[in-house]
Structures are given as structure tokens and as C-alpha cells.
Amino acid sequence: MMTQRQSRLSGFDNRTLFLLGDEAAAYGALYAGCDFFAGYPITPASEIAEVMSRELPRVDGYYVQMEDEIASLSAVIGAVWAGAKAMTATSGPGFSLMQENIGYAIMTETPCVIIDVQRSGPSTGQATKPAQGDVLQARWGTHGDHEIIALAPSSVQECFELTVESFNLAEKYRIPVILLMDGEIGHLRESITFPAYEDVAREERRLAEPEVESFGGEDVPPMSHFGEGRFIHVTGSTHKASGMRDVSTQAVHEDLVTRLCRKIVDACAEISSVEEDFVDGAKIGVLAYGATARPARGAVLEARRAGCAVDFLRLITIWPFPEEAVKRLADRVDTILVPEMNLGQIAREVERFTAAPVLPLSKIGGVPHTIDEILDAIRANGSGSGSTVGQRP
């Protein structure tokens, strides 16, 4: 017997539609099994909430518009402990407001998905324009030592696929996963081909057997839900494997926080996803992600057609940082060009893994890079010596 969700979504099976990145991400959530969404309107993410509010009741899920983004992530976390697969979506200003509760979700090991459709900041910035300025905020926005998972889609199709992946990683590692979209990808329309509902891999929540503790014992412990008579205690305070608070024992805190970090660090290779396209004799490599990877890829192909060997590396996983792939690229080329819609946030991270020059090709102001701009930078630096770009402010 088909579930209500299955029968609603299988109507999209194998169909090709012309959708916004935001809309595709919302459908990805529905395919992944999301049955709770709490959010607050904000450009350029509101279309995600609009699709969720329309579709969730049709798949027996629940949508609630909260009074702000802090409340939105709060409600999401509450819903997860009551058994939901839950998500919220926002942009920079709302993402800033969510930071404290992101830390709470990390500390309590609450699987959930937060979509940040990045827009031009700081502050209100250019509210309707795209940017990639929240990349380091996604990594370090909340206080205290922690690890996080963040993915960046480069197409409308990937908005769908990586939202599904975000839910799966959240469940697998019991961690909030951030889908770092950007206003460019969120607000452009492209064709997307839906998979068959049955063909979508869904990571189901691992629930604890009776007497098994939910906050320790293994790197990713199984969860418990409310209402099952287990009297679970969920707290953002430092806690023991039982979940009970202990904020005075040094070893308890050290064990907890190192485990929360270790479960991601040790799985970095498994989590990391990149698109590598290397060619013989390349002296220069282009490393990009999100919307910027589109013109970057176009520029690389054009440079090759003109006889210039260029390597291309696209980060799909942003955090944990795919350092092995970056090292592979760094070992091959003399120069790494990093176009980003910020002032060099990932370029700075790349520098940690190579002695070779890392040249940021920053562009801010709400206008994406063109193929020509990146091509010019490749041409100017393709010989591997000297540089005409890369002046960091």
C-alpha cells in the first residue's frame, strides 16, 4: 500500500520540470522524508517555505511559520525529538540568528537540515542579490569547538539532490547539516528531472534499543524520541552518555566535545564529495563551488579548447573541508585560482593545504562571475608564474 507521501510524490516520477533552485530544494526535502518545516520569510529563501507550506499537508507533514528564525530552528529541533525529519530555510540575517541553536543541535546531536540561501551582506546588504559570504559563518558561526557538515549545490538539479543528501548525512551522523545555497542558484530556473520516488536513498533514523544510552557509548549513538516512556533528558549543557548534565567534570566535557568532533573528522573521506576534472600538464587549477562553479567550469573548458591545460576542482562538500582533494590538486599545479562571491573565504582555507600561490578571484556586489572574467584570470596566470589577480584587501 502506497503511503500518502509516496502517492503524492510519485506523480513527479521521472518528470522534467522548469523550477527555481529554491523549489527544487523543497522537493528534495519532501523526497528525503521531511515532515516538519518551520521558517520565517526572507529573500531569497521564501520560495522554499512557500513550497513546503503547500506540499507538506499533502504528505501528512506540518508547516509552521514562526515569529523569527531563532524560533524556527527551535521548533525544528523540538519536532525532531518528537520524531520528525525536520528542516528550516533562511538567508544571511536569519542564519545569523540561528547560530546559537545550531550549537544546541550539535551539542544535543539533533539531526536536522538548515538551508542558507546566501545573499549579499553584511547586515541587510543587497537583500535580493546573491553572495557566498556565509561560508565561514557556516563553519564557525556558533560558539565553542565543533564540527559541521555543509554542502553547496551548483545547479537546480543539485539543489534537489543535495537536500536529500543533507537529510541523509544529518541522520547518519546525528548533526545539523547546512545546505549552503546562494541567491543565484536559489533564484534561477532550470530544468530538473525528478527521480522515481522509490529510487531515492533515504537514511532512516537509528533508534536506541531499551537500556541503550542516547548520548554516548559509540561515536554516533542511536537516538530516542519523546513519548516512549524512556524519560530522556536532552540538554545543551555538557552531559554524560545518559544525557544527564555534568558541567563540573573536566573529563566529561572533553570526552563529549572530542567525540562530537571526531565523529565528523574521522568520516571526512566518507562525507566529502567533490567533482575532479584534471588534465595532463596543467600548471593552474581552478577551485570553485556553488553558483561560481558554473562560470568557472565554463572558463576551464574554454581555456582547454584554446590549448591551455587547466585543472578543475569543484567542492560539493564544503565542511568538513575536502582537504585530500585539495591536496591532490595542490600537488599537481603551481597556482590555484579560487573564484568566489566573497572576499576570499575558501581561498584562505585552501592556503592551509598548499605552498603554491592561491589566487582569490573575488567578486562581490551581487553579480556573479562571467566566464570571461575567470578565463582572463586563467590566461594571466596559466603559465604558473607571476600573478595579476589575487590581491586580498
Partner 1 sequence: MNDEPIIPGPARPLKPHRLLKFLRQEILPTAFCPGCGCGTVLNSFAQAVEELSIDPKDMVFVTGIGCSSWIPSPYFKGDTLHTTHGRPIAFATGVKIMRPDLKVVVIAGDGDIAGIGGNHLVHAARRNIDITVLMVNNWNYGMTGGQVSPATPFGVPTTTTPYDNPEHPLEAAELVAAAGANYVSRWTTYHVFPLMESIQKALEIEGFSFIEILSQCPVSYGKMVDMRRASDFLKFYRDQSVRVHKAKEMSAEELEGKIVVGKLVERQRSEFVTSLRRINERFREG
Partner 2 sequence: MNIRFSGFGGQGIVLSGYIFGVAAVFDGKQALQTQSYGSESRGGGCRSDVIISEDEIFELAPPRLDVLVALSQAAYDAYLPALREDGTLILEDDLVDTGNGSGHRTFRIKATDIAHKKFGRKIMANMVMLGFICAIVEAVSREGLERAILDNVPKGTEEMNQQAFEEGYRIGKGEPG
Residue 245 interacts with partner 1 (CB under 8 A)? yes
Find cell 553558483 and name the residue.
291
Strand 335-340, strand 36-39: pairing: unpaired
Mask of contacts with partner 1, 204-243, x by CB under 8 A? ----------------------xxxxxxxxxxxx------
Residue 156 interacts with partner 1 (CB under 8 A)? no
- Tell me which residues in 98-137 interact with partner 1 (CB under 8 A): 100-101, 104
What's the closest the beta carbon of residue 51 comes to partner 2, in angstroms?
A: 16
Residue 191 interacts with partner 2 (CB under 8 A)? yes
319 binds, among partner 2, partner 1, none (CB under 5 to 8 A by kind): none
Contact of 156 with 24, CB cutoff 8 Å: yes
367 binds, among partner 2, partner 1, none (CB under 5 to 8 A by kind): partner 2
Residue 269 interacts with partner 2 (CB under 8 A)? no
Closest to partner 1 by CB, 230 vs 253, is 230
Of all helices (H) and strands (E), which one includes residue 293? helix 293-305
Task: Count Cα atoms within 13 angstroms, Cβ side, for 245.
Answer: 6
Interacting residues of 299 by C-beta distance below 8 A, sequence separation 6+: 286, 371, 372, 373, 374, 375, 378
HEC per residue, 324-384: HHHHHHHHHCCEEEEEECCCCHHHHHHHCCCCCCEEEEECCCCCCCCHHHHHHHHHHHCCC
Residue 391 interacts with partner 2 (CB under 8 A)? no
Residues in the chain: 393
Closest among 251, 228, 227 to 239, alpha carbons compared: 251
DSSP-derived secondary structure letter, 215: S
Binding residue (CB under 8 A) for partner 2 from 5, 139, 263, 297: 297
Query: What are the backbone angles phi and psi of residue 7, rounded to the nearest 5°?
Result: -70, -35
Residue 301 interacts with partner 2 (CB under 8 A)? yes
286 three-class SS: strand
Mask of contacts with partner 1, 351-380, x by CB under 8 A? ------------------------------
Contact of 77 with 110, CB cutoff 8 Å: yes
Amino acid in position 97: L
266 three-class SS: coil
Closest to partner 2 by CB, 213 vs 277, is 277
What's the closest the beta carbon of residue 207 comes to partner 1, in angstroms?
A: 14
Find cell 541553536 and name the residue.
101
- Tell me which residues in 38-77 interact with partner 1 (CB under 8 A): 38, 57-58, 60, 62, 64, 66-68, 70-72, 74-77
Query: Residue 51's Cα: distance from chain center in Å?
Result: 20
Q: And the C-alpha cell for 27?
A: 522537493
Residue 367 interacts with partner 2 (CB under 8 A)? yes
What's the closest the beta carbon of residue 175 comes to partner 1, in angstroms?
A: 17
Closest among 152, 92, 137 to 290, alpha carbons compared: 152
What is the spatial distance between Cα 25 and Cα 378, in angstroms, rounded to a whole number? 32
87 three-class SS: strand
351 binds, among partner 1, partner 2, none (CB under 5 to 8 A by kind): none
Residue 370 interacts with partner 2 (CB under 8 A)? yes
Residue 127 interacts with partner 2 (CB under 8 A)? yes
Residue 368 interacts with partner 2 (CB under 8 A)? yes
Binding residue (CB under 8 A) for partner 2 from 190, 213, 255, 277: 190
Mask of contacts with partner 2, 221-260, x by CB under 8 A? ----------------------------------------
What residues make contact with partner 1 under the rule CB under 8 A?
4, 7-8, 36, 38, 57-58, 60, 62, 64, 66-68, 70-72, 74-84, 86, 100-101, 104, 226-237, 244-245
What residues make contact with partner 2 under the rule CB under 8 A?
16-18, 43-44, 127-128, 184, 187-191, 291, 294-295, 297-299, 301, 367-372
